[in-house]
Every structure is written in structure tokens, then in C-alpha cells.
Amino acid sequence: MHAMAHWRLENGERMRVLDQLLGSTGLFATVVTQLKFRNMGVLGFALILLWALSPVGGQASLRILDYDTATTIRSRTLYFLDRNSTYQRSDATLLGSDGHNAEFVAQSLFAAALGSTKDTQEGSMDSWGNLKIPMIERISSLQDLAGWHSIDHSSNISYSSLLGIPISTVSSDYNTTFNLETWYWTLDCPRLVQFTDESDESPVLPGEESISNSSLLARKDYSSHGTKREDRVEYVVGSSHAWALTAVNFKTFKYETDSNIKNRMFYYRGQDDDRGGSSNGTRAECQMSTTYVEVEAKCLAKRCSVDRMRLSKQPHPPKEHAMGIDPSNTFFAMDLHDAMNPNTFRLPTPFQRYFVEPYAAYTRLNASLDLYKLPKREFSLKMAQLMNTYWQGSISLGEITSGIPPDDQVLRNERFMTELRSKPQETPGIPSDHNTTFLVQPPNPIAVPTYESINATESQTFPVLKCQRSWLAALFVATSAMFLSGVFGLVLECTRKAPDFALNLSSLTRDNPYIRLPPGGSTLDSIDRTRLLRNVRIRLGDVKPDDPVGYVAIASYDRGEKVERLRGMDRTRTFT
């Protein structure tokens, strides 16, 4: 600004413009100077804008680099355990000496699931990191146009099973998303009643009449004639003093091929008095259905959860079909009964306590459970969860705790199963000469898990430094303006002809009659004048103290000149 003012002064300029230039030594000084003139004009706005670039440039230099994140995405094939895999408990005879091990592992997994903590039961994964599937029937969120329901993990979610679906190990360095198709059972228990020693309600379930404190296949003839095979109803029975579970066995193979099949029935009886003082209990009749769903899951590192789900759009057997159990795994009811302390005399087992205290099923309550008082919808939910849990543990004896095997082993498994399915096999309990087309192909009678492949997307987010383009532009404009101003000032400084002046007092001594100086020196620059006059003492005061009317000026007083101070002077004195 000094060089520009000197240049304009040398070429001739209005005093206002010169004062505007000389007063603009900074942003604040520029604003104050323009306000003093009360009418800034174009030059005033230009000066304010020019000086405003200085703080903008300073902020831009600090903000030009900012933290951001970058994401890399890659595809990967994952495998999960098909819930329609072989029910390995049914293969105990084929497994030989390993049959008892299979039974022990299935029962242990079921017992461990019942004993899991509240956080685990309410969480999206089980104790071993397997993905749990919510029940779409219990989701309160509305579906979108594509049928998807969002899962609110801050709310209480009803999961279909205490055990999740084993999935290939996901990377801890990536977030993984995938979709998979699966299914689970639901139950509808419209009849839920109490039985006592005094009531007319019989505690004996259908199929229990011909057995006594044992678990076996019982047959009861309900026909009026009782001689024809087609009139015979068969039951699979798991029965003990503590509780019982029976199910209708397959009667004819038409049951498995008719699209108008009825729901498979399960009958439940259990002791309610946890004090053991009475034989009061609850009896229920439940219809089983199968729900087919598609879920969208997301894993943050190794923490997985279902974020969205909808009813499957793929073709499936009717929901009345008991997926997995039909047609040849009806022994499931007996195995489930045997899994939970069937020899307890007239006392509820953890199976019954789960209905009222799901987080403390192994704690004796010393009170009556009164399961018949539960809402039928709640009883149906808990019973379905227990059945799904035992099924999941029975089809994945090793996968639940150890996970899906490595990919190469899974591929060998698939090749083996493909070759096996290409060979004719007999389904246990079904005559080899019976010509039947099943809704669902019965599982092969060899305990080999079935894995399904899914396409997953892995993404990794990591911090990066990002250039803010807007601040970069501001920095470029500010630095360019400052650079050009500096170059322009340097050019003016090098091309000036007149002596330099500055905003200092040495420049005010030029031709001042009140300062005693030797003649000459009109061509001296301001810095040269300051150097030569460095010892001259000057004062701004009254240079005519003896006159009636004073005069204020800058004057020298080091040689006896009279220059009175203005401070302490009579306030009534006048000046010209």
C-alpha cells in the first residue's frame, strides 16, 4: 500500500485516495479507515476485499487437507449350512459307534443353548458366533415395496432359534454383506389347557396309551374297524413322568405329495409344579408350519447380524410342509424329548422353565410355572424356538462349535454329495418299490452336511488425507493476490523517481518552521532523514505559549525552544 500511495502521489492523486491507501495497513485498519470516510467507494471495497484474502488464505492453508475414509470392495464366496441337511440323529444306526457320540453332541448343544446368557439369547449371534435368524412374524416394522423388513436391533427381537446358522469364517479386517435363503419352523398352539388330578382333562397324549414311561414308536388304531392299514394313525412318542411330546408319523406317502396337505401336529404335556407337590401340568396341541425367508446380513468385522429380511421369493413347498422332518425324520419328537432330563419325576425340566424364565432355565423356581396361563402366541413362540434349536444342533454337530470347514473341503463335500444323489437310494421306512414324487427330496441316509454357497461383498474402510477443493481454490486465489500485490509493489518501488516517504515523524519534519534543521535534504528518503535526525527531540504541543491564542504543532525543544505540553494546560485556553 505504501508503494502504491507513493506512486499515486508522484503521479498526482486526490488526498482522500492517498489517505485510504496509507490507512490500509491491515484488515481491521482498512475497515476502520473506510468507516472514517463514511463513503467508502469502489476503492474502499476493493481494499477490504484484498485484505480479507489474508485470513481466508491462512484458514485455507490449515483446512486444505482433511481426514476422510476410502473403501475397497471385493467379492468372495461364502458357505453356510443348509437347514435341510441330514438330521444326523436319525442316522445313529448308520453311524455305528459314532451314533452315541452324535446323540451326546446334539443334546449337549441343546443344553448349552438353554443355558446361554441373556445377552447371548438377545444378541444377533449365538455363543459360537453363528448367525441367528429373526422371526419375520414378530417384526413390527413395515415392509417396503420389495417386501423387505428392517431389523431394529435396539428393540427386543424374537429369534427363531437359540443356535445360529454356521457360516464360513469372515475376515476381521473387512466388513461383509451377503444374502442367504433359509427357513425355520413356526407353531400355532390353539389349545393350551391345564390338567390336574381332579380335572376331566386327561394328561395322556395321543400315542401314549400303549406305552409306559418309555420312548418308543407307539401305534393306536383310531378306526372303527381297526384292521385296515390305511385307517391306522401312527405316532412318534417321547414320554416320561416329567413331560411328553408326540407327533403324528407319516401315514401314507400321499401326505408328502399332496399340495393340500395339513400341518403336522405335535402334542405336548408337561409338569408345572416346580415344587413337586402336585401333578398339575399343561397340555397343548400345536400345528407346525415352515417359513421360508431371505435375509440380508452384515458383518462388522466378525460381528454379524441380520439387517433386513423378507419372505422368500423362490419356489418352495407349501408352508404346511414340515421342512426337514417330512417325510422320514419324525423321530425328531422322540429325540427332542430325550434331550432334556426325561427321568425327572413330576418336576419341570429346563425345557419347561424356558417358557417363563428363558435366561435361567436351569434354576429351580420352587413355584408353579402354570404354562397354560401364557398367551398362546407366546407359548407357540417358545416351543418353536426350542424345536428349531434342537434341529439346528442335530444337523450341525461339528459346524456349530467349529464353523464351516475350509473351502477346499466344502468343495470335496459337494462333489461327494453330487455323486451320491446320482445313485438310487432307499429312504428309511419307505418301500423301495413305492413310486412316489416328493415335495422335498428326502435327505440321503448318510450323515454328510450340505453347504450352500452365497456371494458376499467384503469392504474395508481406512483413513486417508483428502484435499478440500474449495479451500484449495481459496488458497490459490489468496496467495495469487498476495503474490501479485507484492510483485506490483516491488515494481513500483524500483521504478519510482521521487524520494521515499513513510508514515513516520521524520517525514513530518519536511519544511516544518518549528523544527530547527539545517537547510537542504529535500531529496532524502524517509529512512535517511530518520537516521540523521535520530537525536533531535520533538514534541507535539503549544508552540505559542505566551500568546493569548495558542497554536499546536510539532516542534523541537532540545535547544531552549518553548513548546508547552498540552496535558495540564488550562482548559479555557483557545487555539488557532
Predicted pLDDT of residue 418? 64
Q: If DSSP codes are grouped into helix, strand and coil, which group holds residue 195?
A: strand
Give the whole-number percent of the chain exceeding pLDDT 90: 31
Cα Rg, the chain, nearest whole Å: 47
Q: How confident is the model at residue 37 (pLDDT cuts 50, 70, 90)?
A: low
Instruction: Specify the pLDDT at position 258.
Output: 58
Closest CA to 201 of 372, 394, 397: 372
- Range from 119-133, 136-150, 467-481 carrying the lowest mean pLDDT: 467-481
Whole-number pLDDT of residue 225: 32
Q: What is the mean pLDDT of residues 349-360?
A: 94
Whole-angstrom distance, CA of residue 114 vs CA of residue 134: 17
Residue 56 pLDDT:
84
| Residue 501 confidence (pLDDT) | 61
Distances (CA, A) of 337 to 274, 376, 447, 451, 570: 18, 21, 21, 28, 115
Q: Which of 11-15, 33-37, 343-347 is least confident?
A: 11-15
What's the confidence (pLDDT) of residue 499? 62
pLDDT of residue 269 exceeding 50: yes
| Structural domain boundaries in the chain | 1-64+468-498, 73-461, 505-576
pLDDT at 14 over 70: no
Mean pLDDT of 243-270: 73
Q: Is the pLDDT of residue 436 over 60?
A: no
Q: What is the pLDDT of residue 503?
A: 60
> Over 60: is that where the pLDDT of 427 sits?
no
pLDDT at 429: 44
| pTM recorded for the entire structure | 0.70
Give me 500's grid cell: 521515499
> For 65-113, how does the pLDDT look when each residue is reduced to its tens digit (9 = 90+)?
888 888 999 999 999 998 887 776 554 554 555 556 677 888 899 999 9
For residues 300-305, give the mean pLDDT: 94
Higher pLDDT, 220 or 280: 280
Please state the rounded mean pLDDT for residues 20-34. 73
Mean pLDDT for all residues in the chain: 80
What band does 124 get if pLDDT is binned at 50, 70 and 90?
very high
259 has pLDDT over 90: no
Q: Tens digit of pLDDT for each residue in 497-522?
A: 656 666 665 666 777 787 777 777 77
Write down the pLDDT at residue 294.
97
C-beta separation of 293 from 312 below 8 A? yes
pLDDT of residue 365: 85
For the chain, give percent helix, strand, coil, nearest 5.
Answer: 30, 25, 45
- Per-residue model confidence (pLDDT) at position 531: 72
Is 50 exceeded by the pLDDT of residue 369? yes
438 band by pLDDT with thresholds 50, 70 and 90: very low
Confidence at residue 201, expressed as pLDDT on a 0 to 100 scale: 75
Higher pLDDT, 526 or 460: 460
Lowest mean pLDDT, pick from 62-66, 342-346, 482-486, 571-575: 342-346
Q: In this predicted structure, what is the pLDDT of residue 24?
A: 73
Question: In Å, how far are 153, 161, 330, 467, 575 from 120, measured between CA atoms?
Answer: 13, 12, 30, 44, 94
Q: Which residue type sits at 96?
A: G
Question: pLDDT above 70 covers what percent of the chain?
Answer: 76
Per the structure block, which three cell numbers stand in for 402? 467349529
Q: How much is the pLDDT for 49?
A: 81
Taking residues 228-256, report their average pLDDT: 69
CA-CA distances (angstroms) from residue 513 to 216, 324, 508, 528? 132, 117, 11, 20
